[in-house]
Amino acid sequence: MDSSNSISKKVNGLIEKNNDAYKGFKKASENAESVHLRDFFMDEATQRKEFATELSKELNSYDPDFEVDTDGSSKGTIHRAWMDIKAALSMDDDEAILEECIRGEEASLEEYQEFQNEYSTVHSGINNSIKKQQLHVQKTLDRVKGLEDLH
């Protein structure tokens, strides 16, 4: 049986990932040339903020004494592992931004999958939220890959 604390830490990791994704998509929106991409990225930023809030509420219900991260990971702040957009910004190139989004979404998807593999029987509210969010991340990844093909 997994300890409540290890589950809480893993959920908190997903909250951090979503906060990082919010910041990354917001930055992508600010730097995309295409209006269509700017809107898409901003919609995804908003969605990821909502995902973080949803998981925070579920985690608080599951483990009220656990201190939930509300800012994002320090790793994400220092080196946006999922959205290192530095190269894209220097080129102002939508294709480069999309490539970074793909890399970030793949990393997010991997983290969601790890949770499912390790804690598939955890609290139903958390598990339902994670499954729903994982599906959204997969659909976003597929869409970004399709957008990249157009650029």
Tally of structural domains, the chain:
1
The pLDDT value given to residue 92: 56
Distance CA 53, CA 58 (A): 9
The pLDDT value given to residue 96: 81
The pLDDT value given to residue 151: 64
Measured CA distances, 32 to 109, 136, 149 (Å): 23, 22, 16
Tell me which long-range contacts 33-36 makes (C-beta under 8 A, separation of at least 24): 33/92, 33/93, 33/94, 34/94
User: Which structural domain range is residue 21 located in?
Assistant: 4-150
pLDDT tens column, 85-109: 554 455 558 888 888 889 889 999 9
More confident residue, 46 or 84: 46
Is the model's pLDDT at 131 over the cut of 70?
yes
Give the CATH number, domain containing residue 57.
1.20.1260.10
More confident residue, 138 or 99: 138
Q: What is the mean pLDDT of residues 8-27?
A: 92
Percent of the residues in the chain that have a pLDDT greater than 70, as a whole number:
83
Is the model's pLDDT at 112 over the cut of 90?
yes
Distance CA 124, CA 102 (A): 29
Cα three-residue angle 60-66-68, rounded to 5 degrees: 70
